[in-house]
Amino acid sequence: MMRLNPAELNQIDKGLQEMLEKGRPGAKGIPNFLRILANSPAAALAYLRAEEALAGGRLSGREREQIALAVAEINGSKYCLQAHAAAGGNAGLSGEEIQSARRSAAAEAKAAQMLRFTQSMVLQRGEISDDDLSALRKAGYSDAEAVEIVANIALNVFANYLNILSKTEADFPEIAD
């Protein structure tokens, strides 16, 4: 049973409702997470605008989904794992790549370093070593991309925490542990 109630569609401002529907192409209706988020139009707008801005950034959709999977696994957000496994598949990640990202790993060296950096950032709450940052740069990530990695981490931590708090009911397919 969810601890926070999803906003009823007739209670969501039409403009926000359109943004929520646009935010998840292929989803059947507005996912539970976004309906819970819609209880606060300010929080919903902040989340959706940040998500849209980051989608237009330097990181690819694949990279952003790998980050989301790693962060959700670290934080234990089952709902976000399911949502990002589906989104990761849509972004071109294979089942094996999705499982690897959950372990903060990847077969490709550059992505693997991004995920190690992500894991360090989350587990150490931003207190990473100079070596961690240097390794990210050596893997080919610029300072702008490092900032975007941190922004994606922050957005996903917010979603993880809200879904854990609310015990959001899954509306995405189950994934294997």
pLDDT tens by residue, 96-147: 999 999 999 999 999 999 999 999 999 999 999 999 999 999 999 999 999 9
The percent of residues above 70 in pLDDT, for the chain, comes to 95
Label residue 37 by pLDDT band (50, 70, 90). very high
Label residue 22 by pLDDT band (50, 70, 90). confident
Please report the DSSP string for 96-117 in residue order: HHHHHHHTT--SSHHHHHHHHH
The whole-model pTM stands at 0.94
Do residues 122 and 100 touch, judged by C-beta distance below 8 A? no
Confidence at residue 33, expressed as pLDDT on a 0 to 100 scale: 94
The stretch 29-44 carries a mean pLDDT of 93
What is the second-level CATH architecture of the domain 61-166? Up-down Bundle (1.20)
Distance CA 137, CA 164 (A): 33
Least confident interval from 11-20, 68-77, 151-160: 11-20
25 pLDDT above the threshold of 90? no
The stretch 32-36 carries a mean pLDDT of 94
Helix axes 41-55, 61-75, angle to 10 degrees: 130
Q: Which two tokens stand for residue 52?
A: 């849209």
Locate the domains of the chain by residue range. 9-55, 61-166
Distance CA 170, CA 82 (A): 8
Beta-carbon contacts of 173 under 8 Å, excluding residues fewer than 6 positions away, are 82, 85, 86
Distance CA 129, CA 55 (A): 28
Rg (CA), the chain: 16
Label residue 79 by pLDDT band (50, 70, 90). very high
